[in-house]
Amino acid sequence: MGKPTGRQPVVEAGFGFRQGFPSPSAVRHGKGPAIENAISEEQEEQKRKENLFLLWLYPVLWTVFLLLLSTELGSVRSTQGTLFRVLGFFWPGVFDLAPAQQEWIQFALRKTAHFTEYAIFGVLLLRAFHGSGAPLRKAGFYTWGAVILLAGLDEFHQSFVPSRTPNPKDSVIDLAGGTFGISLYFALASFFSRRSGGKARRAGGS
């Protein structure tokens, strides 16, 4: 058997001849392509888990926020002063209005808040379902069911809070807001899908 000359393939755990010669630094540190690929896959998996965690963190935190608003914290008595201080900053004349007009403005602001809160909830939850791998239509169905459940739970919970009065009309507004958020997500997803498809076709034709 002759004396080996030149560089020889290195065989280590997870590293075979077919993969060629590793770099000197890989040899020193006991790393070959297979090990480096495993590390890369592990990093990608860790990043995927982190992204998935953030996807679900936002709708969970928003749900907690909505449930807090169904307590004394969201009552007219607790929010009236804050609402008018904020509104008065942009429209100082609101303090000169008649009490009946101020009451109507407060009513409109609270109902608009109901709609907006659940629109945001719909977008965040649908994004979490869709980003977790659920098909868009199925994710939309799951989200709409969650909106109905949370809107009903919100009003049911208020029946146990002395300063709150459950109102089925609020549930309808909540459902409308959630449906709007879901529809907005569908529209944006469709827009970006067509846009990326158009770019791919142009790139393929060039």
> How far apart, in whole angstroms, are the C-alpha atoms of residue 181 and residue 127?
11
How many other C-beta atoms can be found within 10 angstroms of the C-beta atom of residue 59?
21
Whether residue 50 lies inside any domain: the answer is: no
> How far apart, in whole angstroms, are the C-alpha atoms of residue 170 and residue 157?
13
> What's the DSSP call for residue 6?
S
How far is C-alpha 102 from the chain's CA centre? 35
Are 118 and 177 contacting, i.e. CB atoms less than 8 angstroms apart?
Answer: yes
Whether residue 161 lies inside any domain: the answer is: yes
pLDDT-flagged residues of the chain (< 50): 6-29
Whether residue 41 lies inside any domain: the answer is: no
> Would you state the pLDDT for residue 19?
41
Instruction: Give me the sign of the Cα torsion angle 117, 123, 126, 131.
Output: negative
Give the helix/strand (H/E) hosting 175: helix 168-205
Of 138, 146, 130, the C-alpha closest to 189 is: 130
How many other C-beta atoms can be found within 10 angstroms of the C-beta atom of residue 123?
22
Tell if the pTM clears 0.85, that is, is over it.
no
Number of domains in the chain: 1
Whether residue 77 lies inside any domain: the answer is: yes
Sorted by sequence, the CB contacts under 8 Å of residue 186 that are 6+ apart come out as 136, 140
Whether residue 5 lies inside any domain: the answer is: no
> What's the DSSP call for residue 134?
-
Whether residue 167 lies inside any domain: the answer is: yes
| Residue 78 domain boundaries | 56-201
Q: Please give the radius of gyration of the chain, using alpha carbons only, rounded to the nearest integer.
A: 29
Beta-bridged to residue 12, according to DSSP, are: 15
> Would you state the pLDDT for residue 14?
38
Whether residue 35 lies inside any domain: the answer is: no
Whether residue 26 lies inside any domain: the answer is: no
User: Can you read off the two tokens belonging to residue 27?
Assistant: 């040899």
> Would you state the pLDDT for residue 187?
95
> How far apart, in whole angstroms, are the C-alpha atoms of residue 39 and residue 31?
10
Of 73, 51, 75, 52, the C-alpha closest to 64 is: 73
> Would you state the pLDDT for residue 119?
97
> How far apart, in whole angstroms, are the C-alpha atoms of residue 116 and residue 28?
59
